[in-house]
Amino acid sequence: MTEPYVRYEVSGGAATITLDSPHNRNAISTRLVTELQAGLNAAAEDPTVRSVVLTHSGGTFCAGADLSEASGSASSPEESVRERGRGMLTLMRSILELPKPVIGLIGGHVRAGGMGLIGACDIVVAGPDSTFAVTESRLGLAASIISVTLLPRLDQRSASRYLLTGEKFGPREAETIGLVTIASQDPGDTVAELLESLRHCSPQGLAESKWITTRSMLAGFDRDGEEMVAQSARLFSSDEAREGMMAFLQKRPPAWAHEQK
């Protein structure tokens, strides 16, 4: 029997959805997206679930797109790239539209598309070992689709810095710029406290309160989503992106890299 990429369990009124493909650093593959979507649907339909925790196994929450899958489709029609982009957009929207709060519990590295997932979460708790980076610009790409959830969360100056440089930053900086709600030395305990607070809230109160906090971001999906999908598909099909992804997979500098002398 094939092991799942995403695990789902319910306890004490909370559903825990665990990204569990550490062999590829929980990269966003077609299979992971499908299984994660199924977990969100199950949580939405279960009347005993009051809240959702999105977390991970291994040292990486999510490394972003599965570049082996993406680069393997470089000769395919651009529409196939668009479809994967629309799938990611739908996944992030599902987190926002879920009528139950979603808490991201992060204890490792978050890169590229993984940043879009935590941007969609209502509350994010990050442990001391967590790191963050929007790395698309280093691959000949841009943070096209994930910008729909990231830009509303980040202050403008920080968004410019980190989307342009691709540099890595830690949980305290993530908290300061708005990506993370709480940088915690014990993220598990912090999430347990949040879940206890949510157990005192009514399902209707949670759903309507969440709608207030997410409706402007959802309007951004309607306004910008398809344009960002088109940009992503165009960039993935470009010569620079193919070089960037191959350089990453081959663990070498890309052709455009300049070494400091």
Q: What is the pLDDT of residue 70?
A: 57
DSSP symbols for 71-140: HHTTTS-HHHHHHHHHHHHHHHHHHHHSSS-EEEEE-SEEETHHHHHHHHSSEEEE-TT-EEE--GGGGT
- Asked whether residue 168 is assigned to any structural domain, the reply reads yes
Task: For residue 65, give the CATH number of its domain.
Answer: 3.90.226.10
Of all helices (H) and strands (E), which one includes residue 17? strand 14-19
- Asked whether residue 252 is assigned to any structural domain, the reply reads no
Residues 6+ apart with CB under 8 A from 250: none
Q: How far apart are CA 170 and CA 38, in angstroms?
A: 31
- Using an 8 Å Cβ cutoff, are 45 and 100 in contact? no
Q: What is the pLDDT of residue 173?
A: 98
- Asked whether residue 195 is assigned to any structural domain, the reply reads no
Q: What is the pLDDT of residue 1?
A: 63
Comparing CA positions, the residue from 15, 58, 67, 59 lying closest to residue 36 is: 15
Comparing CA positions, the residue from 106, 100, 116 lying closest to residue 181 is: 106
Q: What is the pLDDT of residue 258?
A: 74
All residue ranges of the chain with pLDDT < 70 are 1, 70-77, 259-261
Q: What is the pLDDT of residue 74?
A: 44
- Using an 8 Å Cβ cutoff, are 140 and 244 in contact? yes
Burial class (CB in 10 A: 0-12, 13-18, 19+), 212: exposed
Structural domain containing residue 17: 6-186
Q: What is the pLDDT of residue 66?
A: 85
Q: What is the radius of gyration, based on Cα positions, of the chain?
A: 18
- Asked whether residue 196 is assigned to any structural domain, the reply reads no
- Asked whether residue 47 is assigned to any structural domain, the reply reads yes
- Asked whether residue 212 is assigned to any structural domain, the reply reads no
Query: What is the pTM (predicted TM-score) of this model?
Result: 0.93
Please state the domain count of the chain: 1
Angle, alpha carbons 50-17-117 (nearest 5°): 100
- Asked whether residue 116 is assigned to any structural domain, the reply reads yes
- Asked whether residue 165 is assigned to any structural domain, the reply reads yes
